[in-house]
Amino acid sequence: MSGVPSLTEPSLTRRRARTGWLFTLPALVVVAAVTIFPVVYSVAISFTQVRLTYDGLRVEEWTFANYTTMLASSAWREALVFTVGYTLVTVAVELALGIAVAVLLDRLEVGRGWLLALLLIPWSMITVVSAQLWGYLYNASYGAVTWGFGLFLDEPPVILGTPAPAITAMAVADIWKTTPFVAVIVLAGLVRIPAERYEAAEVDGAGAWRTFFSVVLPALRPVMVVAVLFRVLQAFGIFDLPFVLTQGGPGTATQSLAMLGYKALFQDLNMGMGAAVATATGLLVLGCCLLFLRAFRSHVDEAGEGGTA
pLDDT tens per residue, range 21-67: 888 888 888 888 888 888 888 899 999 888 777 777 787 888 899 99
C-alpha of 206 from chain center: 35
Question: Is 69 in a helix, a strand, or coil?
Answer: helix
Mean pLDDT of 245-258: 91
Residue 301, pLDDT score: 56
Amino acid at 88: L
DSSP 27: H
pLDDT-derived band of residue 306, with 50, 70 and 90 as boundaries? Answer: very low
C-alpha to C-alpha distance for 32 and 192, rounded to whole angstroms: 37
Write out the E strands in 113-175.
none
- Single-letter amino acid code for the residue at 256: S
Please give the residue that has the higher pLDDT: either 208 or 171.
Answer: 171
Type of residue numbered 32: A
Tell me the C-alpha distance between 271 and 42, whole Å: 9
Cα gap 150→152, rounded to integer Å:
5
Q: What is the mean pLDDT of the chain?
A: 85
Q: Which long-range contacts (CB under 8 A, 24 or more apart) does 218-225 make?
A: 218/303, 219/189, 219/192, 219/193, 220/99, 220/186, 220/189, 220/190, 221/296, 221/299, 221/300, 222/189, 223/185, 223/186, 223/188, 223/189, 224/95, 224/99, 224/186, 224/189, 225/292, 225/293, 225/296
Whether the predicted model's global pTM rises above the 0.95 cut = no
Average pLDDT in the 176-199 region?
A: 88
State the CB neighbour count (10 A cutoff) for residue 227.
26
Range in 52-66, 167-181, 257-271 the model is least confident about: 52-66
Least confident of 85-94, 147-156, 257-266, 271-280: 147-156
CB atoms within 10 A of CB 167: 18
- Residues facing residue 206 across a β-bridge: none
What is the reported pLDDT for 298? 63
Specify the range with the lowest mean pLDDT, choosing from 125-134, 148-157, 175-184.
148-157
Distance (Å) of CA 173 to CA 32, 47, 140, 204, 274: 35, 37, 16, 42, 27
